[in-house]
Chain A
Amino acid sequence: MSNLTFDLQLLNTFAALLLLSSFAMLSQRRVVTMVNLLALQGVLLGLATLLLAWRTGNGHLYVSAGVTLALKAVFLPWLLHRLIRRLGVYWDSEPLLNIAATMLVGLIVVIFAFGLAQPIAALATTSTRSSIGIAVAVVLLAFLTMITRRKAMSQVVGFLSMENGLFFGAMSATYGMPMIIELGVALDVLVAMLVLGVFFFQIREQFDSLDLHHLESLKEEK
């Protein structure tokens, strides 16, 4: 690691912190803290993109860093916090698997992710290829978060965290997708969250709660 330049070391630090925040999210039961962790991921992602933009002198990465910071570090967390306050969902119920077991599964998932990323990283020519494994791990950990939660809100946070992982993956493997695609994806995420806001109010109006066990009646035996 000693022959790495300072900025690359910094990038790797961001990647490591991203993975750490995913683990923190996996073990966290307070929804507010999960949203804060999501905001932290947004900040890390934005800073990493900014650093990469500066390193490669790639104009479109600056724009993409700006969009990331505005959307993922500021707007979406703000929107979620607002929803949490107005809907009064502060805690998730007991996760389906206890925390210790979830963390163990998470560890296995990370090992698997690095295995999966091996062939991609071997072919990548970007200087950030070492973090592809981390990106895949973030995606899979977010998936695990979604599976083990019962509250709609925490599943959404997991979903957004998955999107963060994908974005980070695109960045470390190819320095980001073409501009218009990234903007399109960002727009879709934004619209998805707005749709979800409306949707949550509908659920609450109907059930007085956002607990997903209310949403388990559509079974085949019906």
Chain B
Amino acid sequence: MVFLFLLATPLLGALFLAFFGARRWAPEANVAFSFATFVAACALTARVIGEGNLSAAHEQFFIDPFNVFLVTLTALVSLTTSLFSRPYMRIEREHGRVKPAQLRLYHSMYQVFITAMLIALTTNNMGLMWVAMEAATLSTVLLVTLYRTPASLEAGWKYFILCGVGIAQALFGTILLYFAAEKVLGAEGMSALLWTHLNEVKGQLEPTVLSLAFVFLLVGYGTKVGLAPLHNWLPDAHAEGPTPISAVLSGLLLNVAIYAVVRCKVLVEGSLHSPLPSRMLMGFGLVSVVLAAFFLWRQRDIKRLFAYSSIEHMGIITFAFGMGGAVANFAALLHMTVHSLTKSAIFFAVGHAAQKTGTQVMNDIRGLITLSPTVGWGLMLGTLAILGLPPFGVFASEFLILTTAMRDQPWATPILLLALGVAFAAIFRRVQPMVFGETTARRLPHPPALLPVFVHLGLVLTLGLFIPPYLADWFRMAAKLIGGI
């Protein structure tokens, strides 16, 4: 019942906003639907705390500690993003950058996107997960091209075709997985695609087929994660679309894609009994971290800068899941949470900054602290948090990942430290003058609504100082579930 409510609310919202998305009160309606979804997610979470794992619709959907916290996180960030998008899209409309028809598309697709992500997270069926991931891509393609500028069309095309090809590889991987599972579980019903059933018999699945399947699944879903060298779509799609979309792409979609990769990894590792999947994850992760760190130096556009920072953090998370084991998995889950909160907060602040100065070119943005102290401090604190400075949560997770790496994979530690250092310098030297530099622009008449930014940063700060026991328990249970050699 709660499940139905969770998935039906955003879907209903999408239908409703497809008709009324251009009305004056449409942004409020968008917030209302997102809020209802968040309430449903909280109710679901409360039930899981009380009753343990749940499954619904003949086991087609299920909730375990791994996905329940991602569901809550997704609902929370989509709520705060809808709050941010309310003034943001109003201003865009007043500036004439979007027309009513586009606004309708925007609101409706925003809800479709949330639905698709929630389905991908809660489904037990690996095939349905693929369908939902593809739906999440398709719903955002037209949002990336919302402004119809040449650059946004190019970004949208790249996003469409690269993710399309990528996700086709994942489909092939899913077919291979089904092929291996069908021998053990039989073709009757759909049990051969249900993750919980697959997880029970993973030791009997044919290793050769599964290792082949994993290559395709990792390349496929890895494209969506933005792992190098499959990351080309990511900076463009983040930079050219409306900022609320950049925030949810970076904060949520990448998490969902990593979630898919990890689910596959658990199955394959159980079948192979070899470190091959872990090594592949570590390799892709490290390459992404290093590549992103050096690309950060060449960025001029503020949204591209933080898009590359997302690639870097996805690399760190992938590397941590690759190391496996209780501590690394715990750290990776924590990092997913804090990255999602921090990065979306940064995009909110960046969105306001870009809107106020009328540009995304970093050299032209100066003195935010005098223009608008809240935007300036929001951006500065968000940047410090994402760079891994204590006492923010990112420090805690990165510290855990690094110490585990020192113990388990000492060879990787210097590479990681170097990349983190390079990224730190690259981002800080850009953000510092943007916030504290001299400006000739006049102070703006209206203070922006920045509640979401500070709510997120507050949460990240709290997670850095103190993780609530039930959350830590979830993370621990999820970490155990993911396991690893």
- B160 to A196, Cβ gap below 8 A? yes
User: Distance in Å from the Cβ of A199 to the closest Cβ of chain B?
Assistant: 7
User: Distance in Å from the Cβ of A119 to the closest Cβ of chain B?
Assistant: 5
Contact residues of B between 96 and 145, Cβ < 8 Å to A = 125, 127-128, 130-131, 134-135, 138, 141-142, 145
- B182 to A191, Cβ gap below 8 A? no
Point out the residues of chain B lying under 8 angstroms from A192, CB to CB: 134, 138, 160, 164
How distant is the Cα of A104 from the Cα of B175 in the complex, in angstroms? Answer: 29
Counting from the closest, the 3 A-B pairs by CB-CB distance are A181-B127, A184-B131, A215-B154
- A181 to B165, Cβ gap below 8 A? no
Is B416 an interface residue when CB atoms closer than 8 A count as contact?
A: no
A37-45, A77-85, A201-209: which lies at the B interface? Answer: A201-209
Is A86 an interface residue when CB atoms closer than 8 A count as contact?
A: no
How distant is the Cα of A222 from the Cα of B301 in the complex, in angstroms? Answer: 9
Is A26 an interface residue when CB atoms closer than 8 A count as contact?
A: no
- Residue of A120, A170, A222 near B300 (CB, 8 A) is A222
- A120 to B131, Cβ gap below 8 A? no
- A214 to B125, Cβ gap below 8 A? no
- Residue of A143, A173, A174 near B165 (CB, 8 A) is A143
Q: Looking across the interface, which residue of chain A has its beta carbon closest to that of B171?
A: A166
How distant is the Cα of A33 from the Cα of B322 in the complex, in angstroms? Answer: 46
Is B153 an interface residue when CB atoms closer than 8 A count as contact?
A: yes
- B141 to A195, Cβ gap below 8 A? yes
- B178 to A174, Cβ gap below 8 A? yes
- A206 to B172, Cβ gap below 8 A? no
- A123 to B206, Cβ gap below 8 A? yes
Point out the residues of chain B lying under 8 angstroms from A178, CB to CB: 127, 187, 190, 192-193
Is B212 an interface residue when CB atoms closer than 8 A count as contact?
A: yes
Is A146 an interface residue when CB atoms closer than 8 A count as contact?
A: yes
- A202 to B150, Cβ gap below 8 A? no
Using A123-B209, A181-B193 as known contacts, list a sample of 20 further A-B pairs with CB atoms less than 8 Å apart, ordered by residue number in A: A119-B209, A146-B161, A162-B168, A163-B168, A166-B168, A169-B172, A174-B178, A177-B174, A178-B192, A181-B128, A184-B127, A191-B135, A195-B141, A195-B160, A199-B157, A214-B150, A216-B154, A218-B240, A220-B298, A222-B301
The size of the chain B interface, using a CB distance under 8 A, is 51
Is B475 an interface residue when CB atoms closer than 8 A count as contact?
A: no
How distant is the Cα of A185 from the Cα of B119 in the complex, in angstroms? Answer: 15
Interface centre among B138, B175, B209 (most CB of A within 10 A): B175
Contact residue range for chain A?
A: 35 or more
- A218 to B148, Cβ gap below 8 A? no
Q: A: which residues have CB within 8 A of B?
A: 116, 119-120, 123-125, 139, 143, 146, 152, 155, 159, 162-163, 166, 169-170, 173-175, 177-178, 180-181, 184-185, 187-188, 191-192, 195-196, 198-199, 202-203, 205-207, 212, 214-218, 220-222
User: Distance in Å from the Cβ of B440 to the closest Cβ of chain A?
Assistant: 25
5 cross-chain CB contacts under 8 A: A119-B209, A174-B178, A181-B125, A192-B138, A222-B301
Q: Looking across the interface, which residue of chain A has its beta carbon closest to that of B155?
A: A218
- Residue of A166, A185, A203, A222 near B153 (CB, 8 A) is A203
How distant is the Cα of A166 from the Cα of B172 in the complex, in angstroms? Answer: 6
- Residue of A155, A202, A217 near B148 (CB, 8 A) is A202
Q: Looking across the interface, which residue of chain A has its beta carbon closest to that of B188?
A: A178
- B148 to A205, Cβ gap below 8 A? yes
- B157 to A188, Cβ gap below 8 A? no
Is B356 an interface residue when CB atoms closer than 8 A count as contact?
A: no
Q: A218 and B157 in contact (CB under 8 A), knowing A174-B175, A181-B131?
A: no
Q: A185 and B190 in contact (CB under 8 A), knowing A119-B209, A119-B212, A195-B142?
A: no
Point out the residues of chain A lying under 8 angstroms from B160, CB to CB: 192, 195-196, 199
Is B69 an interface residue when CB atoms closer than 8 A count as contact?
A: no
How distant is the Cα of A216 from the Cα of B362 in the complex, in angstroms? Answer: 22
Q: Looking across the interface, which residue of chain B has its beta carbon closest to that of A215?
A: B154
Point out the residues of chain A lying under 8 angstroms from B151, CB to CB: 217-218
- B138 to A119, Cβ gap below 8 A? no
How distant is the Cα of A38 from the Cα of B335 in the complex, in angstroms? Answer: 45
Is B156 an interface residue when CB atoms closer than 8 A count as contact?
A: yes
Interface centre among A120, A187, A218 (most CB of B within 10 A): A218
How distant is the Cα of A222 from the Cα of B235 in the complex, in angstroms? Answer: 13
Point out the residues of chain A lying under 8 angstroms from B161, CB to CB: 146, 155, 159
Point out the residues of chain B lying under 8 angstroms from A170, CB to CB: 175, 178
Q: A207 and B179 in contact (CB under 8 A), knowing A120-B209, A155-B161, A192-B164?
A: no
- B138 to A191, Cβ gap below 8 A? yes
Q: Mark B187-207, 1 if CB is under 8 A from A, else 0.
A: 100101100000000000010
User: Distance in Å from the Cβ of B43 to the closest Cβ of chain A?
Assistant: 27
Q: Mark B431-463, 1 if CB is under 8 A from A, else 0.
A: 000000000000000000000000000000000
- A188 to B135, Cβ gap below 8 A? yes
Is B5 an interface residue when CB atoms closer than 8 A count as contact?
A: no
How distant is the Cα of A18 from the Cα of B301 in the complex, in angstroms? Answer: 46
- Residue of B156, B179, B299 near A174 (CB, 8 A) is B179
Q: A120 and B176 in contact (CB under 8 A), knowing A159-B164, A178-B190, A218-B155?
A: yes
User: Distance in Å from the Cβ of B163 to the closest Cβ of chain A?
Assistant: 10
How distant is the Cα of A215 from the Cα of B154 in the complex, in angstroms? Answer: 5
- A207 to B150, Cβ gap below 8 A? yes
Point out the residues of chain B lying under 8 angstroms from A222, CB to CB: 300-301
How distant is the Cα of A184 from the Cα of B126 in the complex, in angstroms? Answer: 12
How distant is the Cα of A196 from the Cα of B156 in the complex, in angstroms? Answer: 10
Point out the residues of chain B lying under 8 angstroms from A191, CB to CB: 135, 138
Q: A180 and B150 in contact (CB under 8 A), knowing A120-B176, A139-B172, A218-B236?
A: no
- B165 to A195, Cβ gap below 8 A? no
Point out the residues of chain B lying under 8 angstroms from A166, CB to CB: 168, 171-172, 175
How distant is the Cα of A180 from the Cα of B212 in the complex, in angstroms? Answer: 24
Point out the residues of chain B lying under 8 angstroms from A184, CB to CB: 127-128, 130-131
- B178 to A177, Cβ gap below 8 A? yes
- A174 to B142, Cβ gap below 8 A? no
Q: Looking across the interface, which residue of chain B has its beta carbon closest to that of A122?
A: B208
User: Distance in Å from the Cβ of A173 to the closest Cβ of chain B?
Assistant: 5
Point out the residues of chain B lying under 8 angstroms from A215, CB to CB: 153-154, 157-158
User: Distance in Å from the Cβ of B460 to the closest Cβ of chain A?
Assistant: 30
Point out the residues of chain A lying under 8 angstroms from B168, CB to CB: 139, 159, 162-163, 166
Q: Looking across the interface, which residue of chain A has its beta carbon closest to that of B295?
A: A220
- A199 to B300, Cβ gap below 8 A? no
